[in-house]
C-alpha cells in the first residue's frame, strides 16, 4: 500500500459527535493524522442516539469526507448498500466495532463488498476494535458468535488497547494478526485551560453511566466522597440523574468535548476509572487519561496492568487500588504537588503518546504489509 494517495473507507460510530460516543476523540485524532500523512478518509456513520442533534460543532472535520446515513428507518439498508458499493473503490475498508446499528451485518458485508470488487482491485479490509475486552468476552461466551468465522477473512485487526493479552486472544480466535493502536493525546485540542470557578473541587470524574463501569464508580468515586464529607467532588457525564450519591458530589450532566479542557483544569485532581473489562485486561488507557494529560491535570487512576507502559507512577500519574488509596492521595497531595505531577504527565504525553505517533504506527503497518505482499508476489 502506498504511503500517500491511499483511500480509507471507514464505518464507525460517529466522527461528528461525542454524545454517547466515547470513541469520538480517538477517531478524530487517528484520522486527522492519517489525513496529514496523505491518506484520503471517507467516514460513514449512522444517524442514531441523537448524535446528529448534539454535534460537536466546534470540531471542523476537514480531514474526512462524511457520509451520514439513516440508522433505523426502512431505507437505511439500501443506503448502506450504496455506501458499500462506493467502498469497493477504496484501498482499505475499515469496520469499527460498536457502530451501534447493523454491527453484525456490517462485519460480514464489508468482506462481501471487498470480494465483489473487480479482479485485481480488491480492497483490503480491517476490523478495528474500540472495545476489545468486551468483544473478546462476547466471543469467548458464544461459540456461535457471528464474528468468529469472519475474523480470518480480515487482512488486519487493529485494537485501541489491550496489549499482549488482547493480541494473543485475537490470534487464538483466528485473526491473521492484531495490532494495538492506543489512545493518545491530540495537542491541537487538549491543552491547559483556565479553571471554571463553579467547577472547582478536590476531585473530578468525567464519564457516562455505563453498566460495565458503575460499580467501580461507586467504589472509587462515591465511596471516597462519603469518606471525605468536607471535600468537594465534581461529576460529569450522561445518565447519573437518578443515581444515589453523597451530598458533596455535584453532577453537571453532559460535558461537550470543547469543555473537557476546562473540566480537567478545574478540580485539584481528576479521577480515571476504567470499565471493568478494560481494567481486567489492562493495557487500555482510555481517552480521558490523555485528555487530562493534555490539560496538565493531576490524574489518579484505578490500578490496571500496563500503566507503566504509558506513565511513571507517583511522578506522572497516581495509582489507587481502592477508595482508601484515592482518599490517601486527596489528603496528601497539595495543589502545588498536583500541578507538578500534571505538568510531568503532559510532558510525557507530548513526547511519547500523541495521535501523530499512533498514525505513524498504522502507516508503518500498512506499508510493511504491502512490501511483504510485493516480495511474495
Q: Which three cell numbers stand for residue 125?
A: 479490509
Instruction: Give the tens place of pLDDT for each residue, 326-369.
Output: 999 999 999 999 999 999 999 999 999 999 999 999 999 998 87
pLDDT at 110: 98
Q: Compute the distance between CA of residue 134 and CA of residue 11 in angstroms, rounded to an integer.
A: 19
Q: Compute the average pLDDT of residues 175-184.
A: 96
Give the containing element (helix H, strand E) for 290. Answer: helix 287-294
Among residues 257, 250, 342, the alpha carbon closest in space to that of 292 is found at 342
Could you tell me if residue 312 is left (phi over 0), alpha (psi between -120 and 50 degrees) or otherwise beta? beta
- Buried b / exposed e over 75-99, threshold 16 CB at 10 Å, is ebeebbeebbeebbebbbbbbbbeb
Instruction: Give the tens place of pLDDT for each residue, 253-270.
Output: 999 888 999 999 999 999
Sign (positive/negative) of CA torsion 290, 296, 299, 305?
positive
Say which residue, 170 or 188, is predicted with more confidence. Answer: 170
Instruction: Give the tens place of pLDDT for each residue, 128-151.
Output: 999 998 899 999 999 999 999 999
What is the CB neighbour count within 10 angstroms for residue 324? 11
What DSSP letter does each residue of 99-125 carry, written as one string?
Answer: -SSSHHHHHHHHHHHHHTSPTT-PPEE
Which of 89-93, 240-244, 253-257 comes out lowest in average pLDDT? 253-257
Give the containing element (helix H, strand E) for 302. Answer: strand 299-302
Q: Compute the average pLDDT of residues 170-197.
A: 95
Q: Compute the distance between CA of residue 68 and CA of residue 45 in angstroms, rounded to an integer.
A: 5
Among residues 286, 326, 285, the alpha carbon closest in space to that of 306 is found at 285
Instruction: Give the tens place of pLDDT for each residue, 105-135.
Output: 999 999 999 999 988 899 999 999 999 988 9
What DSSP letter does each residue of 186-202 carry, written as one string?
Answer: -TTT----PPPGGG--S
pLDDT at 4: 57
pLDDT at 258: 87
Q: Compute the average pLDDT of residues 160-188.
A: 94
Residue 77 has pLDDT above 90, yes or no: no
Contact 181, 361 (CB under 8 A): yes
pLDDT at 373: 52
pLDDT at 65: 97
Residue 313 pLDDT class (50, 70, 90 cuts): very high
Q: Compute the average pLDDT of residues 315-328.
A: 98
Q: Compute the distance between CA of residue 155 and CA of residue 252 in angstroms, rounded to an integer.
A: 44
Q: Compute the average pLDDT of residues 207-212.
A: 89
Q: Which three cell numbers stand for residue 15?
A: 466522527
Give the containing element (helix H, strand E) for 10. Answer: strand 7-11
Q: Compute the average pLDDT of residues 148-173.
A: 95
Residue 293 has pLDDT above 80, yes or no: yes
Q: Compute the distance between CA of residue 34 and CA of residue 28 in angstroms, rounded to an integer.
A: 10
Q: Which three cell numbers stand for residue 3?
A: 504511503
What DSSP letter does each residue of 37-66 carry, written as one string?
Answer: TT-EEEEEEEE-TT-GGG--TTS---SSEE
Q: Compute the distance between CA of residue 348 and CA of residue 44 in angstroms, rounded to an integer.
A: 34
Q: Compute the distance between CA of residue 305 and CA of residue 163 in angstroms, rounded to an integer.
A: 9
Instruction: Give the tens place of pLDDT for each residue, 3-41.
Output: 557 999 999 999 999 888 989 989 999 999 999 999 999
Residue 153 has pLDDT above 70, yes or no: yes
Residue 2 has pLDDT above 90, yes or no: no
Ordered by where they begin, the domains of the chain are 7-184+355-376 (3.40.50.2000), 197-352 (3.40.50.2000)
Contact 47, 68 (CB under 8 A): yes
Contact 335, 268 (CB under 8 A): yes
pLDDT at 126: 98
Give the containing element (helix H, strand E) for 68. Answer: strand 65-70
- Percent of the chain surpassing pLDDT 90: 81
91 Cβ partners below 8 Å, 6+ apart? Answer: 1, 6, 7, 8, 123, 124
- Percent of the chain surpassing pLDDT 70: 97
Amino acid at each position: 500500500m502506498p504511503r500517500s494517495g491511499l483511500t480509507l473507507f471507514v464505518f464507525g460510530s460517529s466522527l461528528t459527535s461525542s454524545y454517547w460516543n466515547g470513541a469520538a476523540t480517538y477517531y478524530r485524532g487517528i484520522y486527522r493524522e492519517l489525513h496529514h500523512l496523505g491518506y484520503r478518509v471517507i467516514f460513514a456513520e449512522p444517524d442514531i442516539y441523537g448524535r446528529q442533534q448534539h454535534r460537536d460543532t466546534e470540531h471542523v472535520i476537514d480531514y474526512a469526507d462524511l457520509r451520514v446515513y439513516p440508522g433505523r428507518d426502512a431505507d437505511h439498508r439500501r443506503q448502506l448498500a450504496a455506501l458499500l458499493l462506493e467502498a469497493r473503490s477504496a484501498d482499505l475498508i475499515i469496520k469499527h466495532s460498536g457502530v451501534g446499528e447493523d454491527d453484525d451485518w456490517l462485519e460480514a458485508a464489508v468482506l462481501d463488498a471487498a470480494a465483489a470488487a473487480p479482479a485485481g482491485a480488491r480492497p483490503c479490509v480491517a476490523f478495528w476494535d474500540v472495545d476489545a475486552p468486551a468483544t473478546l468476552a462476547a466471543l469467548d461466551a458464544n461459540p456461535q458468535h457471528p464474528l468468529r468465522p469472519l475474523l480470518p477473512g480480515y487482512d488486519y485487526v487493529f485494537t485501541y488497547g489491550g496489549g499482549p493479552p488482547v493480541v494473543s486472544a485475537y490470534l487464538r480466535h483466528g485473526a491473521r494478526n492484531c495490532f494495538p493502536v492506543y489512545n493518545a493525546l491530540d495537542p491541537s485540542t487538549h491543552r491547559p485551560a483556565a479553571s471554571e470557578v463553579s467547577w472547582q473541587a478536590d476531585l473530578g470524574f468525567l464519564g457516562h453511566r455505563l453498566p460495565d463501569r458503575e460499580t467501580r464508580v461507586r467504589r472509587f468515586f462515591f465511596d471516597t466522597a462519603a469518606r471525605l464529607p468536607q471535600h468537594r467532588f465534581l461529576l460529569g457525564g450522561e445518565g447519573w440523574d437518578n443515581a444515589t450519591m453523597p451530598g458533596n458530589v455535584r453532577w453537571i450532566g453532559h460535558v461537550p468535548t470543547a469543555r473537557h479542557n476546562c473540566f480537567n483544569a478545574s478540580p485539584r485532581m481528576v479521577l480515571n476509572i476504567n470499565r471493568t473489562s478494560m481494567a481486567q485486561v489492562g493495557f487500555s488507557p482510555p481517552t480521558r487519561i490523555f485528555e487530562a494529560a493534555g490539560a496538565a491535570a493531576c490524574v489518579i487512576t484505578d490500578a490496571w496492568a500496563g500503566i507503566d507502559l504509558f506513565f511513571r507512577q507517583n511522578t506522572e500519574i497516581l495509582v489507587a487500588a481502592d477508595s482508601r488509596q484515592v482518599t490517601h492521595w486527596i489528603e496528601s497531595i497539595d495543589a502545588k504537588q498536583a500541578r507538578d505531577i500534571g505538568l510531568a504527565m503532559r510532558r510525557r504525553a507530548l513526547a511519547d503518546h500523541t495521535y501523530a505517533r499512533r498514525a505513524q504506527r498504522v502507516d508503518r503497518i500498512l506499508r510493511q504489509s504491502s512490501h511483504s505482499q510485493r516480495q511474495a508476489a
